[in-house]
Chain A
Amino acid sequence: MLELTDLHASYGKTPILRGVDVDVDAGEIVGIMGKNGVGKTTLVKAVMGLLEVDDGRIRFDGTDVTDEPADVRARRGMGYIPQGRDVFPELTVAENLRIGETINEGDDRLQYEAVYDYFPILEERRDQEAGTMSGGQQQMLAIGRALVGNPELLLLDEPSEGVQPSIVQDVTRNLRRVNEELGTTILFVEQNLHVVQHLAERCYAIDKGTIVDELEGDRLDSREAVTEYLAV
Chain B
Amino acid sequence: MATSDPTVKTAPAVDETGPDSSRILQTRGLRKAFGGLTATDDVDFALEAGELRCLIGPNGAGKSTFLDLLTGRLEPTAGKIYYDGADITGLPSHERVDRGISMKFQVPSVYEGLTVAGNLRIPLQRVVEPDAFDARTREILERFDLLAERETVAGELSHGQQQRLEIGMAMAMEPNLLLLDEPVAGLSVEETADIADLLREIADDDGVAVIVIEHDIDFVETIADRVTVLDGGSIFREGSIEEIRTDPEVKRIYLGEDR
Do chains A and B directly touch (beta carbons under 8 Å) in the complex?
yes
- A contacts, CB < 8 Å to B: 11-14, 35-37, 135, 161-162, 164-165, 192-194, 208, 227, 231-232
Are B185 and A36 interface neighbours, CB within 8 A? yes
List, sorted by A's number, 8 A–B pairs whose CB atoms are closer than 8 Å: A11-B186, A12-B158, A35-B216, A36-B186, A135-B60, A162-B60, A232-B217, A232-B255
Interface size class of B (residues with CB under 8 A): 20 to 34
A207 (CB) vs chain B CBs: closest residue = B189
Are A192 and B187 interface neighbours, CB within 8 A? no
Q: Which residues of chain A are near B184, meaning CB under 8 Å?
A: 36-37
Cβ contacts B223-259/A at 8 Å (1 or 0 each)? 0000000000000000000000000000000011101
Are B257 and A193 interface neighbours, CB within 8 A? yes
A192 (CB) vs chain B CBs: closest residue = B256
B residues 26-80 with Cβ under 8 Å of A? 58-60
Are B259 and A194 interface neighbours, CB within 8 A? yes
Known contacts A162-B60, A192-B256, A194-B259; is A208 also within 8 Å of B216 by CB? Answer: no
Are B256 and A193 interface neighbours, CB within 8 A? yes
Cβ contacts B147-187/A at 8 Å (1 or 0 each)? 00000000010111000000000000000000000001111
B205 within 8 A of A: no
B215 within 8 A of A: yes
List the 6 closest pairs (A to B, CB-CB), nearest first.
A162-B59, A37-B186, A14-B159, A14-B158, A36-B216, A194-B259
Q: Which residues of chain B are near A194, meaning CB under 8 Å?
A: 256, 259
B190 (CB) vs chain A CBs: closest residue = A208
Measured in the bound complex, the distance between the Cα atoms of B255 and A162 in whole Å is 13
Measured in the bound complex, the distance between the Cα atoms of B186 and A36 in whole Å is 7
Which of B156, B192, B218, B256 has the most chain A CB within a 10 Å cutoff? B256
Measured in the bound complex, the distance between the Cα atoms of B185 and A164 in whole Å is 21
Are A231 and B60 interface neighbours, CB within 8 A? no
| Chain A nearest Cβ from B7, distance in angstroms | 21
B186 (CB) vs chain A CBs: closest residue = A37
Are A37 and B187 interface neighbours, CB within 8 A? yes
Are A37 and B188 interface neighbours, CB within 8 A? yes
Measured in the bound complex, the distance between the Cα atoms of B160 and A37 in whole Å is 12
Q: Which residues of chain B are near A35, meaning CB under 8 Å?
A: 216, 218
Q: Which residues of chain A are near B159, meaning CB under 8 Å?
A: 11-12, 14
Are A231 and B259 interface neighbours, CB within 8 A? no
Are A231 and B256 interface neighbours, CB within 8 A? no
Given A36-B186, A36-B216, A231-B217, 17 new contacts (CB under 8 A): A12-B158, A14-B159, A14-B160, A35-B216, A35-B218, A37-B187, A37-B192, A161-B59, A162-B60, A192-B256, A193-B257, A194-B256, A194-B259, A208-B188, A231-B215, A232-B256, A232-B257
Partner of B158, one of A13, A37, A227: A13
Measured in the bound complex, the distance between the Cα atoms of B156 and A193 in whole Å is 36
Partner of A193, one of B192, B216, B218, B259: B259
Q: Which residues of chain B are near A135, meaning CB under 8 Å?
A: 59-60
Measured in the bound complex, the distance between the Cα atoms of B219 and A37 in whole Å is 13
B192 (CB) vs chain A CBs: closest residue = A37
Cβ contacts B207-227/A at 8 Å (1 or 0 each)? 000000001111000000000
B252 (CB) vs chain A CBs: closest residue = A165
